[in-house]
């Protein structure tokens, strides 16, 4: 298996898109950065040093690969979706099966890397934010594995719509704290997790679940998730003898997308497409499409595209998928958008629901509502492409957690 | 000399520290908060911090969060906050006013335009909680050109080497965050402060104000005598919140209760200054 966090060095070539961020955590000189209160600054700097040291330590890589293989179950397969390909009638569709990872999503890739780092740093208490609960479940899982105290902040709205995951986290020994501030979704949970961290800096590690937050989180989470893209590259070479032509991934904060995009950034022939949650529609005012309908600003420690009003107050996002219901996006995506290296599009709640059912019926795979956004866009794009086009969809999570939400939208009482 | 420097100089000559009360703009409505702002100097405020409401105040505890939400609900915008300060300045040209808030609304307004408009309104200094010196270049030049002080926060977690770096980018005064935590949740002991402040003092010639966790007259007296000033925020906002009616509107009690509390704090701060050092 490829060394999961070695790309920085491997990409040390000129004109590479893989050399960001700079030492200040800025992507393209503009996005990212470290916008946190002074109480947290020393911790962020310490974390950066600790991460740089771990990155350079072969023992850390060996430990990570061990857990990736024997605990997470990597590598995840690259599945040729024959019936979906036939139904769409265009590009050849492959699914990168991240939903087969332990805990059912790509989230564990990042969480495993960070918990090993937290242990190296001597931290004993973990705090994390969660939206759909996938990151919370992954975090609670590794805390159980390593016997660490775990506090998960989750918006009260999300606690309501993701009950199975709340129960899972509690079974795993985590304390789940419902956050009632704001709309009670991911952004509010993030605020509350940061407040906890500020108040408990001595023993606590904040385990951010996406490629956002103050530097080094966006780069570090991307590095830990890049195993997805590295594997995809090898697996596609083995299956088809070449690189894919198109890679499609859903974007909330953007960690599964960054993980599959990053190893392809310097392969100019590969189209990278991020699918944001358009909610009720990009122009409905009820959307989570930060790149398409937001503008750059500063929230949660980084500068990035944000949904905000004319006065710089952050808007509430909307998506049927709790995991995409966030008014921001990872700063590297903002940069990739501006330089045109990746394309960003939207899929609505309805399109995601249709794709959820389609993927289930055609492939026998129940996708997470998050991942269903990527499937939805692939369904639109594939028919317009020649049959020899290779299109990979990152199937970032499984949809068992979403059956209650989907049933409700389909008018079914469980 | 700036209003901030002049005020600290006067107080030093008097042998006492400053009382720096905080109010959240537009909490619970524009008229009430403007009236409170106008009445603060007579009640004993030496400098005043005016909070600029933000939707996501991630360094603040529940009391300031609630105040910010009330302010936003009442229609607070940066234009509106600056306008309040301009109204205040028509009557008071001596009491320093410091705006405190988060960086995104200011970035959205435009750094240069904001600094110019704030200075024109009579603002003396800015505290942007989530804009550390590492990211501060966006505002350093426009603030300096407009004559605004950038007040820096330092915390118990700030190591000595970093203290020097942060304070090299500070002006006006230094805001010492006395606890490791969010606003209004706990308080530092006099012992902690007595050992922490000399460390900061050694790194700067600027006056030092202590904030986060200063609630009672006794604590304000202690903090203002150990350092050069005490910021009281959550305790005052909590009192204000208590006086509101069920719909969150101001009542006839609102101003008198908050001003009475400021009076008690001021009395304690002044009394502390009279004691021999």
**A8 and B CB contact within 8 Å:** no
Measured at the alpha carbon of residue B232, what is the angle toward residues B227 and B237, in degrees to the nearest 5?
A: 175
Closest by Cα among A163, A157, A156 to A177: A156
Say how far residue B98 (Cα) sits from the centre of its chain: 6
Confidence of residue A10 (pLDDT cuts 50, 70, 90): very low
**A306 and B CB contact within 8 Å:** yes
Neighbours of A147 (CB within 10 A): 8
Among partner residues A182, A298, A313, which is closest to B130 by beta-carbon distance?
A: A298
A273, β-bridge pairs = A248, A343
A222, β-bridge pairs = none
Question: Tokens 């937290």 correspond to what residue?
Answer: A118
Confidence of residue B275 (pLDDT cuts 50, 70, 90): low
Measured at the alpha carbon of residue B131, what is the angle toward residues A334 and A128, in degrees to the nearest 5?
A: 65
Judged against a pLDDT cut of 50, whether residue A311 lies above it is answered with yes
- Give domain status of residue A370, yes or no: yes
Residues A349 and A213 in one domain: no
In terms of DSSP bridges, do strands A31-35 and A26-27 run parallel, antiparallel, or are they unpaired?
antiparallel
Confidence of residue A2 (pLDDT cuts 50, 70, 90): very low
- Give domain status of residue A10, yes or no: no
* Nearest chain B CA: its distance from A413 CA (Å): 36
Strand order from edge to edge, sheet including A246-251: A78-80, A92-97, A390-395, A246-251, A271-279, A342-348
Could B105 and A311 be called an inter-chain contact, meaning their C-beta atoms sit closer than 8 Å? yes
Question: Tokens 């990570």 correspond to what residue?
Answer: A64
pLDDT tens per residue across span A254-268: 999 999 999 999 999
**A187 and B CB contact within 8 Å:** yes
Tokens of A304: 């990035």
**B185 and A CB contact within 8 Å:** yes
Residues A193 and A236 in one domain: no
Could B78 and A311 be called an inter-chain contact, meaning their C-beta atoms sit closer than 8 Å? yes
* Nearest chain B CA: its distance from A175 CA (Å): 20
What's the CA gap between A257 and A8, in Å, rounded? 18
Among partner residues A190, A198, A297, which is closest to B59 by beta-carbon distance?
A: A198
- Give domain status of residue A334, yes or no: yes
- In eight-state DSSP terms, residue A56 is T
User: Which string of DSSP letters, residue by residue, matches chain B?
Assistant: --HHHHHHHHHHHHT--EEEEEEETTSS-HHHHHHHHHHHHHHT-SSEEEE---S--TT--HHHHHHHHHHHHTT--HHHHHHHHHHHHTT-SSS-EEEEE-HHHHHHH-HHHHHHHHHHHT--EEEETT--GGGTHHHHHHHHHHT-EEPEEE-TT--HHHHHHHHTT--S-EEEE-SSSSTTS----HHHHHHHHHHHHTT-SS-EEEESS--SHHHHHHHHHHSSEEEE-HHHHHHHHHHS-TTS---TTHHHHHHHHHHHHHHHHHHHHHS--
Could A201 and B157 be called an inter-chain contact, meaning their C-beta atoms sit closer than 8 Å? yes
pLDDT tens per residue across span B88-140: 999 999 999 999 999 999 999 999 999 999 999 999 999 999 999 999 999 99
Residues A144 and A192 in one domain: yes
Of A206, A221, A236, the position where a domain reaches its end is: A221
Judged against a pLDDT cut of 90, whether residue B256 lies above it is answered with yes
Residues A40 and A118 in one domain: yes
Number of domains in chain B: 1
Tell me the three state secondary structure of residue A236.
helix
* Nearest chain A CA: its distance from B15 CA (Å): 30
Question: Could you give the C-alpha distances from A385 to A84, A87, A323, in angstroms and in order?
Answer: 14, 13, 29
In terms of residue numbers, what domain contains A259?
Answer: 74-104+225-409
Residues A61 and A201 in one domain: yes
Residues A91 and A52 in one domain: no
Cis peptide before A216 (omega within 30 of 0): yes
Among partner residues B77, B102, B182, which is closest to A199 by beta-carbon distance?
A: B182
Contacts of A331 in chain B (CB under 8 A): none
Contacts of A297 in chain B (CB under 8 A): 104, 107-108
**A116 and B CB contact within 8 Å:** no
Residue A270 near residue A264 (C-beta atoms within 8 A): yes
Among partner residues B57, B109, B134, which is closest to A312 by beta-carbon distance?
A: B109
User: Which string of DSSP letters, residue by residue, matches A276-288?
Assistant: EEEET-TTSS---
Confidence of residue A14 (pLDDT cuts 50, 70, 90): low
Could A308 and B155 be called an inter-chain contact, meaning their C-beta atoms sit closer than 8 Å? no
Could B185 and A199 be called an inter-chain contact, meaning their C-beta atoms sit closer than 8 Å? yes
Residue A298: closest CA among chain B residues belongs to which residue?
B104
**B220 and A CB contact within 8 Å:** no
Please state the length of chain B. Answer: 277
Is residue A396 among the annotated active site residues? yes
- Which pLDDT score is estimated for A331? 98
What's the CA gap between B95 and B46, in Å, rounded? 6
What's the CA gap between B157 and B142, in Å, rounded? 29
- Which pLDDT score is estimated for B186? 78
Residues 6+ apart with CB under 8 A from A286: A279, A280, A318
Closest by Cα among A336, A320, A325, A316 to A402: A320
- Which pLDDT score is estimated for B1? 87
Q: What is the mean pLDDT of chain A?
A: 94
Number of domains in chain A: 2
- Give domain status of residue A7, yes or no: no
Residues A269 and A362 in one domain: yes
Residues A306 and A340 in one domain: yes
Closest by Cα among B198, B254, B257, B187 to B226: B198
Identify the residue among B104, B114, B158 best suited for mutation to test binding to A, counting A beta carbons within 10 A and taking the highest: B104
Residues A143 and A246 in one domain: no
Of A166, A192, A221, the position where a domain reaches its end is: A221
Contacts of A301 in chain B (CB under 8 A): 130
Residues 6+ apart with CB under 8 A from A23: none
In terms of DSSP bridges, do strands A149-155 and A175-179 run parallel, antiparallel, or are they unpaired?
parallel
**B182 and A CB contact within 8 Å:** yes
Judged against a pLDDT cut of 50, whether residue A6 lies above it is answered with no
Q: What is the mean pLDDT of residues B192-211?
A: 94
Judged against a pLDDT cut of 60, whether residue A229 lies above it is answered with yes
Judged against a pLDDT cut of 50, whether residue A12 lies above it is answered with no
Residues A91 and A236 in one domain: yes
Judged against a pLDDT cut of 80, whether residue A8 lies above it is answered with no
- Which pLDDT score is estimated for A90? 98
Tokens of A94: 């492959």
Residues A86 and A122 in one domain: no
Could A181 and B155 be called an inter-chain contact, meaning their C-beta atoms sit closer than 8 Å? no
**A49 and B CB contact within 8 Å:** no
**B26 and A CB contact within 8 Å:** no
Is residue A129 among the annotated active site residues? yes
Judged against a pLDDT cut of 80, whether residue A9 lies above it is answered with no
Residue B131: closest CA among chain A residues belongs to which residue?
A35
Query: Can you state the angle between helices B62-73 and B234-243, rounded to 10 degrees?
Result: 60
- Which pLDDT score is estimated for A210? 96
Of A221, A256, A272, the position where a domain reaches its end is: A221
Judged against a pLDDT cut of 80, whether residue A183 lies above it is answered with no
CATH code of A192's domain: 3.40.50.1100
Question: Could you give the C-alpha distances from A333 to A314, A329, B158, B180, in angstroms and in order?
Answer: 19, 7, 32, 33
Lowest mean pLDDT of A101-115, A150-164, A271-285, name the range: A150-164
- Which pLDDT score is estimated for A11? 43
B46, B49, B117, B149: which is the annotated catalytic residue? B49
**A311 and B CB contact within 8 Å:** yes
Residue B226 near residue B258 (C-beta atoms within 8 A): no
Closest by Cα among A189, A196, A195, A187 to A169: A189
Residues A94 and A181 in one domain: no
- Give domain status of residue A337, yes or no: yes
ipTM, two decimals, is 0.95
B200 phi and psi, to 5 degrees?
-70, -40
In terms of residue numbers, what domain contains B31?
Answer: 3-274
- Give domain status of residue A8, yes or no: no
Residue B138: closest CA among chain A residues belongs to which residue?
A30
A77 phi and psi, to 5 degrees?
-70, 155
Could A297 and B185 be called an inter-chain contact, meaning their C-beta atoms sit closer than 8 Å? no
Among partner residues B107, B109, B162, which is closest to A42 by beta-carbon distance?
A: B162
CATH code of B261's domain: 3.20.20.70
Judged against a pLDDT cut of 70, whether residue A124 lies above it is answered with yes
Question: Tokens 């989230």 correspond to what residue?
Answer: A107
Identify the residue among A24, A32, A39, A180 best suited for mutation to test binding to B, counting B beta carbons within 10 A and taking the highest: A39
């Amino acid at each position: 298996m490829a060394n999961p966090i070695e790309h920085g060095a491997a990409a040390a070539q000129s004109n590479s898109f893989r050399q960001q961020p700079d030492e200040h955590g800025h992507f393209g000189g503009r996005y990212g950065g470290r916008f946190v209160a002074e109480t947290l600054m020393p911790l962020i700097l310490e974390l950066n040093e600790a991460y740089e040291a771990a990155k350079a330590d072969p023992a850390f890589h060996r430990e990570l690969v061990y857990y990736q293989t024997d605990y997470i179950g990597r590598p995840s397969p690259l599945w040729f979706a024959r019936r979906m390909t036939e139904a769409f009638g265009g590009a050849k569709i492959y699914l990168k099966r991240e939903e087969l990872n332990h805990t059912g999503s790509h989230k564990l890739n990042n969480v495993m890397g960070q918990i090993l780092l937290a242990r190296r740093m001597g931290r004993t208490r973990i705090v994390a934010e969660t939206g759909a609960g996938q990151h919370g479940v992954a975090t609670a899982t590794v805390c159980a594995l390593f016997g660490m105290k775990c506090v998960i902040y989750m918006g009260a709205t999300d606690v309501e719509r993701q009950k199975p995951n709340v129960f899972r986290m509690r079974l795993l020994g985590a304390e789940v704290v419902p956050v009632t501030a704001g709309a009670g979704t991911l952004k509010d949970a993030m605020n509350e997790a940061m407040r906890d961290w500020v108040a408990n800096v001595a023993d606590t590690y904040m385990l951010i679940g996406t490629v956002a937050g103050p530097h080094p989180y966006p780069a570090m989470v991307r590095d830990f998730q890049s195993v997805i893209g590295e594997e995809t590259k090898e697996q596609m070479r083995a299956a088809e003898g070449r690189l894919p032509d198109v890679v499609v991934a859903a974007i909330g904060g953007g960690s599964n997308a960054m993980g599959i995009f990053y190893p392809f950034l310097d392969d100019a022939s590969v189209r990278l497409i991020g699918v944001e949650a358009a909610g009720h529609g990009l122009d409905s005012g009820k959307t989570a499409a930060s790149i398409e309908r937001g503008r750059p600003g500063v929230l949660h420690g980084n500068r990035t595209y944000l949904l905000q009003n004319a006065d710089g107050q952050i808007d509430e996002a909307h998506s049927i998928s709790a995991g995409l219901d966030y008014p921001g996006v990872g700063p590297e995506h903002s940069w990739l958008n501006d330089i045109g290296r990746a394309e960003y599009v939207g899929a609505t709640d309805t399109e995601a629901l249709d794709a959820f059912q389609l993927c289930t019926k055609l492939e026998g795979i129940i996708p997470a509502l998050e991942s269903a956004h990527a499937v939805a866009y692939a369904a639109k794009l594939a028919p317009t492409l020649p049959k020899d086009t290779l299109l990979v969809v990152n199937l970032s999570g499984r949809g068992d957690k979403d059956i209650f939400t989907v049933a409700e939208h389909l008018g079914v009482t469980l | 000399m700036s209003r901030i420097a002049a005020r600290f100089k006067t107080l030093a000559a008097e042998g006492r520290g400053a009382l720096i009360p905080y109010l959240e703009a537009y909490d619970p409505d524009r008229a009430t908060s403007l009236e409170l702002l106008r009445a603060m100097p007579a009640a004993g405020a030496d400098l005043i911090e005016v909070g600029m409401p933000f939707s996501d105040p991630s360094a603040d505890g529940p009391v300031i969060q609630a105040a910010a939400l009330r302010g936003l609900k009442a229609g607070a915008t940066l234009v509106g906050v600056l306008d309040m300060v301009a109204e205040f300045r028509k009557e008071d040209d001596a009491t320093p006013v410091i705006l405190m808030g988060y960086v995104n609304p200011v970035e959205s307004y435009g750094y240069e335009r904001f600094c110019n408009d704030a200075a024109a309104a009579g603002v003396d200094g800015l505290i942007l909680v989530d804009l550390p010196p590492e990211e501060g270049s966006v505002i350093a030049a426009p603030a300096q050109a407009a004559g605004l002080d950038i007040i820096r926060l330092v915390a118990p977690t700030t190591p000595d080497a970093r203290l020097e770096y942060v304070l090299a980018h500070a002006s006006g005064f230094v805001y010492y965050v006395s606890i490791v935590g969010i606003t209004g949740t706990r308080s530092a002991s006099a012992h902690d402060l007595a050992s922490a402040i000399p460390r900061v003092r050694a790194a700067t010639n600027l006056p030092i104000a202590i904030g986060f966790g200063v609630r009672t007259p006794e604590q304000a007296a202690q903090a203002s005598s150990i350092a050069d000033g005490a910021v009281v925020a959550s305790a005052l906002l909590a009192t204000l919140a208590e006086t509101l009616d069920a719909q969150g509107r101001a009542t006839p009690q609102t101003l008198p209760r908050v001003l009475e509390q400021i009076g008690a704090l001021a009395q304690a701060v002044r009394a502390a200054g009279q004691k021999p050092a």
